[in-house]
Amino acid sequence: MELGLRGKSVIVTGAASNIGRAIALAFAREGAQVAVADIDREGGERTAWQAESLGAQRAAFVACDVTEREQVAEMMEEVVRRFGRIDVLVNNVGWDRLRLFLEEPWEEMERKVRLNLWSVLICSRIVLPRLVEQRSGAVVNIASDAGRMGEFREAVYSACKGGVIALTKALARECGRYGVRVNCVCPGTTMPASPEDAGAYSMWRAGEELASWTTEEMKERIARAYPLRRLGTAEEVANAVVFLASDAASFITGQTLSVSGGYTMI
């Protein structure tokens, strides 16, 4: 299938680790120009280097905290300076720590809202006017099945990801008339393939709570909840993102696609 992504300018936020890295590398294989927007310089430069060696027309790490408006605006200008334009924005940054809502400290709650929802609002508000002006472009937001289900011990995360799903639909309605599509992908549990695939600030990094999930016993327990009876890979999530961003999905907008082995079917 011709995806039409050769030479397209793509921003992937949070691409220094796990799913974001796989997304950046999948665009690289299609010959796109790939901007890795992240706070993790070492991991981000590694992704950019891998992207170039996999066939990206160009790849660059652009340091950016996506919760800071000024930094996002500067990142966008930097990408335009280097690549000439922007065609695709993938809002991938997110963060979670399992916690009962009634035990959640305020600071942690605020951090979840900033990383999972506020960052998506900022990046969309700053990049979309450019896509609208050029009358073309695609945004793919990375939400979660938690946003469809409302998962136990993930109240704030679920609320934010549910917000990302609703934002996707609202922006699709608002921007469709300008030829700009907005879609959303919900990964199931997707662990880094190796410790090197968890970036310095990854929620899967040793010491973070989710790292304790990476045992074989835990993987088997989670897999039992999925009709396909296994965990998915970051590459499987990336395939869906690349498709939705591509010309092959030219009549698809406002949609939420779960890549979670059938965990949710709504």
Ligand X SMILES: NC(=O)c1ccc[n+]([C@@H]2O[C@H](COP(=O)([O-])OP(=O)(O)OC[C@H]3O[C@@H](n4cnc5c(N)ncnc54)[C@H](O)[C@@H]3O)[C@@H](O)[C@H]2O)c1
Question: At closest approach, how far in Å is the CB of 6 from ligand X?
Answer: 26
Q: Which residue is at the shortest CB distance from ligand X?
A: 94
Whether the CB-CB separation of 160 and 111 falls below 8 Å is answered with no
Query: Which one, 225 or 250, has the nearer CB to ligand X?
Result: 225
Gyration radius from the chain CA atoms: 17
Query: Which one, 7 or 263, has the nearer CB to ligand X?
Result: 263
Return d(Cα 40, Cα 16) in angstroms, integer: 6
Return d(Cα 87, Cα 128) in angstroms, integer: 10
* Given 157, 178, 226, 263, the catalytic residue: 157
Per-position DSSP letters for 92-158, written without gaps between them: -------B-GGG--HHHHHHHHIIIIIHHHHHHHHHHHHHHHHT-EEEEEE--THHHH--TTBHHHH
Question: At closest approach, how far in Å is the CB of 33 from ligand X?
Answer: 19
Query: Which one, 9 or 189, has the nearer CB to ligand X?
Result: 189
Q: Is 263 a catalytic residue?
A: no
What residues make contact with ligand X under the rule CB under 6 A?
Answer: 13-14, 16-20, 38-40, 43, 64-67, 92-94, 96, 115, 142, 144, 187, 189-190, 198-199, 201-204
Query: Which one, 176 or 195, has the nearer CB to ligand X?
Result: 195
Return d(Cα 175, Cα 129) in angstroms, integer: 9
Return d(Cα 142, Cα 157) in angstroms, integer: 13
- Which residues are the active-site residues? 157
